[in-house]
Amino acid sequence: MEQKVLRAGTFAVVCALVLRLVGAVNWNVVLPKDTTAWILFLQTGRVIRPVNIQFAPQSTEPTEETVPDTTQPPTVDKPVFSETDAGNIKINSGFSYTADLPALIQKPLEWDLTGDAPTVLILHSHGSESFAPTGEYTESSPYHTLDNGYNMVSIGAHLAELLEAGGICVVQDSTLHDNPSYNASYGNSRAAAQDYLEKYPSIRLVLDLHRDSIADADGNQVAQTVFSEGSSLAPLMFVVGTDYGGLSHPQWQENLALALKLQTQLESICPGICRNINLRTQRFNQDLSPGALLVEVGSSGNQRGEALRAAEVLAEGILSLAHGSG
């Protein structure tokens, strides 16, 4: 009898110790409520009446967090030019001039050509100029045509389309200012440019697109070409007017500064695409805007397709300066 009592007592002590060790477990989760009450009675000797407690179901929906709006305007990388860049550019001039090329190329270009308002004007003082004849169009005179699908107006239209695709609003004047009078060309285009600048004061870049004429000793028209990635392109040349001929043009060095920057960009895109900058005593209507340039796209011996490909490089260069320079 005493041994039975001893065994029962030992068993009770062991059970109590086990219950103490596992007492931290949340038995309300793993045991029925009646069993839980019985275990608590063994541990404490107290009678616990079960209470029905209702718990709200836990939501499985993701919690929506409020994230502060940290959107910032995109950072625009503006090209920065150096004295070395100026040293890489050669200028052809038939007269002695004074210009600090390193200072001009490093001067920040403060404009933004993007937006809804027109910022670029393309015109053609010699719009009827055309390229090597292919039989696709009728010449009005050798290497000239009044067909705007094949003369310089077509090159300007292609350039305008590319700039528009890049976010620049362009106005193109498709008037043939050299017809019927070649001598009246610059007077006619000057009046047109003044009208556009008055109508659209947002215009910052004025491009007068031409094609050059180069002949050999026998008078044959010569093509100048640049090869890039298996394709031939017509070279580009910037003609910058000055006041050395006696006409007022106080801001001609602003035009030259732009030519230096744009030529640097073009050469980085397509090495060899640019001929030397041609500095002249005439002003070529560039006194109307500090952002005015005359651009020779190839020569009369080039194919029109080569000029179109050159216009694509020109567009890329302009787009690289669309937000100015540092």
Long-range CB contacts for residues 223-227, cutoff 8 Å, separation at least 24? 223/132, 223/298, 223/299, 223/301, 223/302, 223/303, 223/306, 224/275, 224/298, 224/299, 224/301, 224/302, 225/302, 225/306, 226/270, 226/272, 226/273, 226/310
In this predicted model, what pLDDT tens digit does every residue of 5-60 receive, in sequence order? 445 455 554 555 444 544 444 444 444 445 545 444 445 555 545 444 343 455 55
Of the listed ranges 42-46, 165-169, 184-188, 315-319, the one predicted with least confidence = 42-46
Give the integer Cα–Cα distance in Å for 289 and 169.
Answer: 17
Given a cut of 80, is residue 268 above it in pLDDT?
yes
Tell me: pLDDT of 185 over 70: yes
Question: In this predicted model, what pLDDT tens digit does every residue of 137-152 receive, in sequence order?
Answer: 999 999 999 999 999 9
The β-bridge partners of 277 are: 91
Domains and CATH numbers, the chain: 2-44 (no CATH), 83-320 (3.40.630.40)
Provide mean pLDDT across the span 153-173.
98
Output the pLDDT for position 32. Answer: 47
Q: Report CA 176 to chain centroid distance, whole Å.
A: 31
Reading phi first (left if > 0) and then psi (alpha if -120 to 50, else beta), residue 124 is in beta
Report the C-alpha gap between 271 and 148 in whole angstroms: 30
Please state whether the predicted TM-score (pTM) of the whole model is above 0.85.
Answer: no
Average pLDDT rounded to a whole number, residues 190-214: 98
Helix (H, G, I), strand (E, B) or coil at 241: strand
Instruction: Return the higher-pLDDT residue of 44 and 133.
Output: 133
Residue 76 banded pLDDT, cuts 50, 70, 90: confident
Q: Determine which helix (DSSP H) or strand (DSSP E) holds 305, and give its type and residue range.
A: helix 304-320
